[in-house]
Amino acid sequence: MVQSLDRSQGRAGAPAVNGDAAPATFTGNRGLQLEEKLIFEMGQHGRCGVDLPEPVAAKDRLGALRREGEIGLPGLAEPQVVQHYTRLSQKNFAIDSGLYPLGSCTMKHNPRLNEKIARLSGLGDIHPLQPVSTVQGALAVIDTLAHWLKTLTGMPAVAMSPAAGAHGEMCGMMAIAAALEARGEGHRKTVLVPESAHGTNPATAAALGFVVKGIPADSRGRVDVAALKAALGPDVAAIMLTNPNTCGLFENDIREVADAVHAAGGYFYCDGANYNAIVGKVRPGDLGVDCMHINLHKTFSTPHGGGGPGAGPVVLSERLARFAPRPWIVRGENGWDLLEKGIVDDAAPLGRMKAFHGQMGMFTRALAYILSHGADGLRQVAEDAVLNANYVLARLKNDLSPAFDGPCMHECLFDDSFLKDTGITTLDFAKAMIDEGYHPMTMYFPLVVHGALLIEPTETQGKEEIDKFCDTLIDLARRAKSGTATADFKAAPMLAPRRRLDETLAARKPVLRWRPTNREPGDGPLRQAAE
């Protein structure tokens, strides 16, 4: 054995067995881990990755506004560009690399069929402002997806245009504001938000001028219904509740909550981030929901893409449907049409959420996902997602510390009490997972649990992968408790493309772009040069 990475040798208080112990290389590369410069450090004049013809001779129509001087873009040939981005890609963990248990993000497999379909010329190359007679198929795709979203959720209407979950929240809360205004109750300015909510919920409500009032969780990880009822009054516009909630639990008093909110004259906004747990099994419309956004990039598997694009259609109850934003798609005598006015007589669109008609590329993929799974497969999605999460909970419950009693829904939540007195934090534990080849779970969220670790395995992981993942976490937990490996946890990750990054330094004196005064990477970090 030339280079031992054997665990017993590596972890016994000797953090030397890691990348540092490998011999230094001339290039700085380590096997397949390739150091890569910025494009601005590689480019040269006279190089170009495309071949374009000479422009025809024509009159200059720019007035006096011809751009002067260099823009400063680097020149690279196609092979260099392909190598650059390929090397960058190899520094990323992804769903395609392995189990990506990021809680509340639903990192499920992204079917490649959907990529192929979205790129069909008749869907991918069409212009949003073509005459509607030339895009009947595209409008049919949108309306068909809308139909299934309404059917699955048991809601009568859906606004398709929001671009992401948070954008859908904005749309839904605008609809609620519009409904209150129409009722002459614009004075209702309080929005109740459980403390376990995603940050987007209070951010959305506050942006719309609502006053956010926090509702605590009870000892079971659910919203404290008594506290909620006590907070209800003539000033309450709405409650924003995630269900299943961010503790991975179904709010089993949800009907009671909905009835109480409605009786007090408020609306029920449901954050649908965790819809994957119940798709095909439970219709939010049966739970008293007035509106709910659906993250197509979660439940319906459109790719997360390194942070978007997403899509966040919002299903709306009868009471809110007439406030849906423009444009509306209708079926008339001559086929599908796009209307700037509403469909129904009393339509009062709240406005427009974005240019054009929504995230078409995501609609195509989501509809392909729904049709691929079908009536049987979609229910199986929810069941397997919940089964996998409960299996992880069962396997880990003796070594990690579950935050609440089970069963859970599609994700399981642990607190950091299993690390008590070890000196190891949730962050250290998560970083040690990286060396074992896993993306960490969601950390320190939800806020209602100390040092939270939120695990969502999704339904697209097999039992073998989940067993290996659980075995790994159990081993890490036992090592953490042994007290002999604390330094390793503190130093982790040691085998990733980068070790822990200095986030304080990044924020204290931000360097947000490359500038020509930058030094070569071999000269040492720019940051040190700057200070």
Partner 1 sequence: MRYLPLTDADRREMLATIGVRSIDELFRDVPEAARREGPIPDLSMHLGELEVERIFSAYAGANLSPAYTPSFLGAGAYRHHVPAAVDHLIQRGEFLTSYTPYQPEITQGTLQYLFEFQTQVALLTGMDVANASMYDGSTGASEAVLMANRITRRSKAVLSGGLHPHYRAVIETTARWQGFFAIAGAPDVAGTEDLIASIDKDTSCVVVQNPSLFGHVRDLTPLAEACHARGALLIVVVTEIVSLGLVTPPGAMGADIVVCEGQSLGVGLGFGGPYVGLFATRDKFVRQMPGRLVGETVDADGKRGFVLTLSTREQHIRREKATSNICTNAGLCALAFTIHLTLLGEAGFRRLAELNHANASAFAERLAALPGVELVNDTFFNEFTLRLPKPAAPIIELLASQRIMPGVPVSRLIPDDPSVDNLLLVAVTETATEHGMGPAFEALKGVL
Site for partner 1 in 195-254 (CB under 8 A): 198-200, 202-209, 212, 249-250, 252, 254
Q: Does 152 bind partner 1 (CB under 8 A)?
A: yes
Is the distance from CB of 374 to CB of 208 less than 8 angstroms? Answer: no
Whichever of 11 and 365 has its CB closer to partner 1, that residue is 365
Region of 223-231, 234-242, 380-388, 478-486 interacting with partner 1 (CB under 8 A): 380-388
- Min dist CB 171 to partner 1, Å, is 9
The smaller minimum CB distance to partner 1, of residues 10 and 202, is found at 202
User: 130 or 482: whose CB is closer to partner 1?
Assistant: 130
74: tokens are 């680097």
Alpha carbon distance 258, 260 (integer Å): 5
* C-beta of residue 121 within 8 angstroms of C-beta of residue 375: no
105 interacts with partner 1 by CB under 8 A? yes
CB of 279 to partner 1, least distance (A): 9
Residue 254 structure tokens: 């949800």
Tell me the window of 170-178, 228-236, 413-421, 481-489 that interacts with partner 1 (CB under 8 A).
Answer: 170-178
The one segment of 5-13, 226-234, 277-285, 475-483 that binds partner 1 by CB under 8 A? 277-285
Q: How far is CA 340 from CA 131, 167, 319, 325, 355, in A?
A: 14, 20, 20, 9, 12
Residue 381 is a binding residue for partner 1 (CB under 8 A): yes
Compute the distance between CA of residue 292 and CA of residue 159 in angstroms, rounded to an integer. Answer: 10
CB of 344 to partner 1, least distance (A): 19
Q: Which residues contact 310 (CB under 8 A, 6 or more apart)?
A: 163, 164, 165, 295, 296, 297, 302, 304, 359, 362
Number of residues near partner 1 (by CB under 8 A): 210
Alpha-carbon distance of 83 to 60, in angstroms, equals 38
Nearest CA to 154 out of 285, 51, 15 is that of 285
Residue 391, helix vs strand vs coil:
helix
The answer to the question of residue 150 lying near partner 1 (CB under 8 A) is no
Task: Provide the minimum distance between the beta carbon of 162 and partner 1 in the complex, in angstroms, as a whole number.
Answer: 9
- Per CB under 8 A, 468 contacts partner 1: no
482-507 burial by CB neighbour count: b if 16+ within 10 A, else e? eeebbebbbbbbbbbbeeeeeeeeee
13 or 137: CB nearest partner 1: 137
Verify binding: residue 474, partner 1, rule CB under 8 A.
no
Q: Which parts of 172-191 interact with partner 1 (CB under 8 A)?
A: 174, 177-178
Binding mask of the shown chain, residues 408 to 447, with x at each position contacting partner 1 by CB under 8 A: -x--------------------xx--x----xx----x--
Q: Cβ of 433: how many Cβ atoms within 10 Å? A: 20
Q: What angle do CA 23, 25, 31 make, to 5 degrees?
A: 90
Closest separation in Å from C-beta 487 to partner 1: 13
Q: What residues pair up with 314 in beta bridges, in sequence order?
A: 159, 293
For the bound state, the minimum distance from the C-beta of residue 396 to partner 1, rounded and expressed in Å, comes to 11
Nearer to partner 1, 96 or 482 (CB): 96
Cβ within 8 Å of residue 18, ≥6 positions away: 10, 435, 491, 494, 495
- Return the amino acid letter for 478: R
Q: Please state, in angstroms and rounded to a whole number, the distance separating the CA atoms of residues 275 and 263.
A: 26
Q: Is 99 one of the binding residues for partner 1 (CB under 8 A)?
A: no
Position 309, amino acid: P
Is 329 a binding residue for partner 1 by CB under 8 A? The answer is: no
**Per CB under 8 A, does 121 bind partner 1?**
yes
- Work out how close the CB of 439 gets to partner 1 at its nearest, in angstroms, rounded to a whole number: 6
Should residue 156 be labelled a site residue for partner 1 when binding is judged by CB under 8 A?
Answer: no
Q: Exactly one of 290, 411, 416, 459 binds partner 1 (CB under 8 A); which one?
A: 459
502 binding partner 1? (CB under 8 A): yes
Q: 22-51: which residues touch partner 1 (CB under 8 A)?
A: 36, 38-40, 43, 45-50
- Find the part of the chain contacting partner 1 (CB under 8 A) among 230-238, 313-321, 379-387, 416-424: 379-387
297 in contact with partner 1 (CB under 8 A): yes
Decide if residue 527 touches partner 1 (CB under 8 A). Answer: yes
For residue 144, count other CB atoms closer than 10 A to its CB.
14
CB 419, CB 482: distance < 8 Å: no
Neighbour-count burial of 302, counting CB atoms closer than 10 A to its CB (0-12 exposed, 13-18 middle, 19+ buried): buried
Cα(523)–Cα(517) distance, rounded to whole angstroms?
A: 12
- Write out the binding residues for partner 1, residues 48-67 only, by CB under 8 A: 48-50, 52-53, 55-67
Question: Between residues 184 and 510, which has the closer beta carbon with respect to partner 1?
Answer: 510
The rounded distance, in Å, linking the Cα atoms of 320 and 155 is: 11
Decide: is 314 part of the binding site for partner 1 (CB under 8 A).
no
Of 27, 333, 513, 517, which one interacts with partner 1 (CB under 8 A)? 513
Q: Which of residues 124-143 bind partner 1 (CB under 8 A)?
A: 124-131, 133-138, 140-141
Identify which of residues 188 and 304 has a Cβ nearer to partner 1 in the complex.
304
Helix axes 426-435, 463-482, angle to 10 degrees: 130
Strands 211-215 and 236-242, how do they pair?
unpaired
Write the interaction track for partner 1 spanning residues 337-376; mark x where CB under 8 A is met and - where it is not.
---x---------xxxxxxxxxxxxx-x---x-xxxxxxx
Nearer to partner 1, 64 or 226 (CB): 64
232 or 287: CB nearest partner 1: 287
